[in-house]
């Protein structure tokens, strides 16, 4: 027996947090009865669970590593008909969703999945999953700027958590930084660099925990291997 929101997340309905909200909103029925309490436990193999009148059934879990190009929105649809990540995975039978987001002008590694529990854990700061970026910035950050980025920068939505930052190379007018974060705030790397006086000229996410873009061209994707799936689940406590 598992909590209802956990079963919903595992079935690919939504993330656990969004599943909880759907329960509160009265959109979920178990064996014909509307459930609005989060503590209810169900048996996914015996109980009939419906979301907005549609029965849920376990989907095949998909784990997609995507090299997002710049000029693409991290969403499955867009009212303005701009390019979205869904355009690149139309052939999949299952519904997959981005884990976290990369902004419109940022390229790089993006994980797509229908495993709601895995997505929830990967994006929760408690699990301290590394997100590694390469940022080409204007100017040459000095020791003080690097220390500020490492120890925390005050942004409009509060101080950032400590980060690992190193200067990879520098030229006359621009430099390349490698930044490792555990947070996932909106445009965080860009805002951090702007705050210390070195605006970002180009940004790429190159790694998520142990996953990298090696051999994956921009706009292409691949399935995680079974070994990678197990390693990732073990990393965030979904497997012993």
Whether residue 35 is found in the same domain as residue 136: no
CATH number, domain at 51? 3.10.290.10
91 CB contacts (<8 Å, ≥6 apart)?
none
The answer to whether position 86 is within a domain reads yes
Q: Which of 103, 115, 130, 157 is catalytic?
A: 103
Instruction: Report the 10 Å Cβ neighbour count for 36.
Output: 11
CATH number, domain at 231? 3.30.70.580
Whether residue 24 is found in the same domain as residue 134: no
Q: What is the structure's pLDDT at 215?
A: 92
Residue 142 C-alpha from the chain's centroid: 31
The answer to whether position 224 is within a domain reads yes
- 204, 108 contact by CB (below 8 A): yes
pLDDT, tens digit, 9 for 90 and up, residues 97-152? 999 999 999 999 999 998 888 999 999 888 999 999 999 999 999 999 999 999 99
Q: What is the structure's pLDDT at 139?
A: 97
Whether residue 87 is found in the same domain as residue 109: yes
Please state the domain count of the chain.
Answer: 3
In terms of Cα–Cα distance, which of 237, 9, 13, 16 is closest to 129? 237
Whether residue 226 is found in the same domain as residue 108: yes
Secondary structure (DSSP) of 72-116? -BSSS--TT---BGGGG-TT-SS--EESS---TT-EEEEEEES-H
Q: What is the structure's pLDDT at 60?
A: 82
Whether residue 12 is found in the same domain as residue 113: no
The answer to whether position 45 is within a domain reads yes
Q: What mean pLDDT is predicted for residues 218-239?
A: 96
Residue 3 C-alpha from the chain's centroid: 23
Q: Using the 8-state DSSP alphabet, how is residue 134 labeled? A: E
130 is catalytic: no
pLDDT for residue 93 is more than 90: no
Distance CA 104, CA 83 (A): 10
pLDDT band at 201 (very low <50, low <70, confident <90, very high): very high
pLDDT, tens digit, 9 for 90 and up, residues 170-193? 998 999 999 999 998 999 999 999
Distance CA 93, CA 114 (A): 11
Whether residue 139 is found in the same domain as residue 93: no
Domain that includes residue 35, residue range: 2-55
The answer to whether position 16 is within a domain reads yes
Q: What is the structure's pLDDT at 195?
A: 97
Whether residue 202 is found in the same domain as residue 220: no
- 125, 182 contact by CB (below 8 A): yes
The answer to whether position 140 is within a domain reads yes
The answer to whether position 33 is within a domain reads yes
Tracing tokens 């790694």 back to the chain, one arrives at 207
Q: What is the pTM of this model?
A: 0.78
CATH number, domain at 202? 3.30.70.1560
The answer to whether position 240 is within a domain reads no
Whether residue 218 is found in the same domain as residue 108: yes
In the chain, which ranges are continuous DSSP H helix? 4-10, 16-24, 116-123, 143-151, 188-195, 226-235
Q: What is the structure's pLDDT at 84?
A: 97
Whether residue 137 is found in the same domain as residue 190: yes
pLDDT, tens digit, 9 for 90 and up, residues 10-60? 787 888 889 999 999 999 999 999 999 998 999 887 899 999 999 987 778
* Cβ density class 60-74: b for 16+ within 10 Å, e for less: ebbbbbbbbbeebbb
Whether residue 92 is found in the same domain as residue 139: no
């Amino acid at each position: 027996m598992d909590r209802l929101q956990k079963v919903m997340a595992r079935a690919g309905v939504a993330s656990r947090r969004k599943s909880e909200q759907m329960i509160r909103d009265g959109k979920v029925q178990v064996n014909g009865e509307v459930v609005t309490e989060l503590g209810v436990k169900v048996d996914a193999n015996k109980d009939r669970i419906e979301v907005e009148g549609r029965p849920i059934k376990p989907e095949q879990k998909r784990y997609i590593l995507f090299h997002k190009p710049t000029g693409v929105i991290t969403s499955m649809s867009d009212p303005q008909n701009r390019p979205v990540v869904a355009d690149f995975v139309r052939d999949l039978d299952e519904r997959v969703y981005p884990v976290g987001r990369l902004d419109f002008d940022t390229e790089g590694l993006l994980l797509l999945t229908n495993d709601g529990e895995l997505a929830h854990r990967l994006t929760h700061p408690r699990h301290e999953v590394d997100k590694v970026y390469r940022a080409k910035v204007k100017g040459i950050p000095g020791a003080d700027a690097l220390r500020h980025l490492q120890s925390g920068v005050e942004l409009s939505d509060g101080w950032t958590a400590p980060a690992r930052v190193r200067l990879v190379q520098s030229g006359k007018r621009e430099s390349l930084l490698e930044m490792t974060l555990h947070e996932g705030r909106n445009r965080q790397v860009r805002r951090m660099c702007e705050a210390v006086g070195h605006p970002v000229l180009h940004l790429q996410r190159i790694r998520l925990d142990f996953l990298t873009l090696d051999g994956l061209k921009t706009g292409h994707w691949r399935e995680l291997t079974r070994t990678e799936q197990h390693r990732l689940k073990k990393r965030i406590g979904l497997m012993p």
